[in-house]
Structure 1
């Protein structure tokens, strides 16, 4: 298996930070845009899409700021990968942005970025951004 490559994306989101944080850090928020359904048990989040599921371990959570997960498959493979959703507020304009940090195989990078673009478009639609 090839090494996964880290990448970052930034999306401007017209939302309060508290609403955005709720959408990225709670099962109910995540199930509105990220997955069809989301369950949590201890620090493991189960994400469900079209009859399939993936589990991710919660690595860190900074209230009002960010949340970081690692997919169970990557844990089992011994990879040091993760995906992080972090809220960034511009000091001058107070514009709110969502920073995505993720990892993908180099030959799947375009598809991975497109998936995030589609997911964030869903998020913006849900919160009216």
Structure 2
């Protein structure tokens, strides 16, 4: 298995941090844009796409600020994906920072996927 490479992306989103946090941290919020359906039992989140399921563990959460998940298949690794809300102190502009890991040859695909999902999120939030 080849090593994965960490990458970060930034998406400006014109919406309040508290509302945005609902969409990145709750099963109902995540199922609006990230997956077709999301269930959680404690720290274990099940993401469902077109009938296939992936499970991830919520490894850290800071209210109103960030959530970090680790896919169960990456359980014994340092790989994770994090959604973090960043607010510019001066302009108060809100951005969603994505940190993820990908194999080199899949990185462009991974970034495109995030692009598409965040566009969907912005659409739902009315932030275009």
| TM-score, normalised relative to structure 2 | 0.98
Gaps of 5+ in 1: none
Deviation, structure 1 residue 48: 0.3
Question: Partner of 1:72 in structure 2?
Answer: 72
Q: Which secondary structure does the structure 2 equivalent of 1:47 belong to? A: strand
**2:16 corresponds to which residue?**
16
CA distance in 2, matches of 1:19, 1:63: 11
Match of 1:95 among 93, 97, 118: 93
User: After the TM superposition, which parts of structure 1 deviate over 3 Å for at least 4 consecutive aligned residues?
Assistant: none
Query: Are positions 1:62 and 2:57 aligned together?
Result: no
For residue 123 of structure 2, what is the aligned residue in structure 1? 125
State the alpha-carbon separation in 1 of the partners of residues 58 and 124 from structure 2. Answer: 24
- Unaligned ranges ≥5, structure 2: none
Please show how residues 34-49 of structure 1 align to structure 2 within 5 Å.
34-49=34-49
How many residues align structurally?
Answer: 127
Which of residues 87, 109, 113 is equivalent to 2:111?
113
Q: Distance in 2 between matches of 1:127 and 1:35?
A: 16
Which secondary structure state, in structure 2, belongs to the residue aligned with residue 32 of structure 1? helix
TM-score by length of 1: 0.97
- Aligned Cα root-mean-square deviation (Å): 0.5
Q: Distance in 1 between matches of 2:27 and 2:51?
A: 17
